[in-house]
Copies of this chain bind each other. A is one copy, B any other.
């Protein structure tokens, strides 16, 4: 019985943004059609100054794959003390027919890639067809991931970017302009960026002042990425009042996503959530219906995105004969 080992370098060779977007679409569809079992996840919190490690598990019935992702984060002393990153990841895959261990792969790239792809999937389903200007509130790693993935599904003319830190902002402009050739306009306030946006992406840690409703022009599509815990918030809840609200998972988003805030303030009720994005991708409900709607995609992230992405990486590895086989038993 051979298990395939895939290093971070193997993984990065084996998967394109386009592949990940396909994998994340598969994930949302599978989730909304009951083709997925995702038990609650387990965490161990280490004493400070260490961080935590999470274990997420899923069973993807369509291709009979079970996956477990262990991902750590917040180990801020790792670089200095051990020469290691502050967070790492490992994904293991099982063939659900036999529960044989088919693959152990580095998981440090997948979370960023699949989160980036989630925004692009929502853009395909919910942004205006003539959208061309993006506002990026937040200019860290995940902002880059969002731009790279969205760049696969539409032509971006300009990016209006804002960050608290001038240095980060300048670096973002340099990186994106040289990597993708898209002009990045640095703005002096969040408002200046948001007012320009056909598509607004928020990827901050969710601790600053939220984007205000008055700034958002009709027809904007909002990709809300940064909020995956109750303490975080990126949008003024008022934005939700008249928007078309689409979520990755109703259960998760009403518990701990951006959507929790307007619910908590009674600005919307649960019934005002229009759909899970999987329902739109499956054709059960239309996406955007006119050019004036404000659409919001609240993404909290789901284990199934890791599974479908990891399964595609594994399939590519087999097809392209990449990786190192190891026999754990004979």
Contact = CB atoms under 8 A, between A and B. Distances in A.
A137 interface: no
A68 B70 contact: yes
B88 A53 contact: no
Contact of A101 (B88, B99, B324): B88
Given A42-B40, A104-B104, A5 B326 contact: yes
Interface of A: 1, 5, 7-9, 37, 39-40, 42-44, 46, 50-51, 53, 55, 57, 59, 66, 68, 70, 72, 75, 78, 81-82, 84, 87-88, 90, 92, 94, 96-101, 104-106, 108, 324, 326-330
A187 to B, nearest CB: 36
Contacts of A42: 39-40, 42, 55, 57
B68 A97 contact: no
27 contacts: A5-B326, A7-B326, A9-B330, A39-B43, A39-B44, A46-B59, A46-B96, A46-B99, A50-B97, A50-B99, A53-B66, A53-B94, A53-B99, A55-B57, A68-B68, A68-B70, A75-B98, A81-B98, A82-B97, A84-B100, A87-B99, A88-B329, A90-B92, A104-B104, A106-B329, A108-B329, A326-B326
Given A55-B55, A98-B75, A326-B326, A70 B92 contact: yes
B82 A94 contact: no
A66 B71 CA distance: 12
A23 B221 CA distance: 57
Contacts of A40: 42
Contact of A328 (B7, B99, B326, B328): B7
B327 A7 contact: yes
A326 B326 CA distance: 10
Given A8-B328, A101-B88, A324-B326, A68 B55 contact: yes
A206 to B, nearest CB: 23
Nearest to A82: B98
Contacts of A106: 328-329
A8 B330 CA distance: 8
Contacts of A90: 92, 101, 328
B39 A59 contact: no
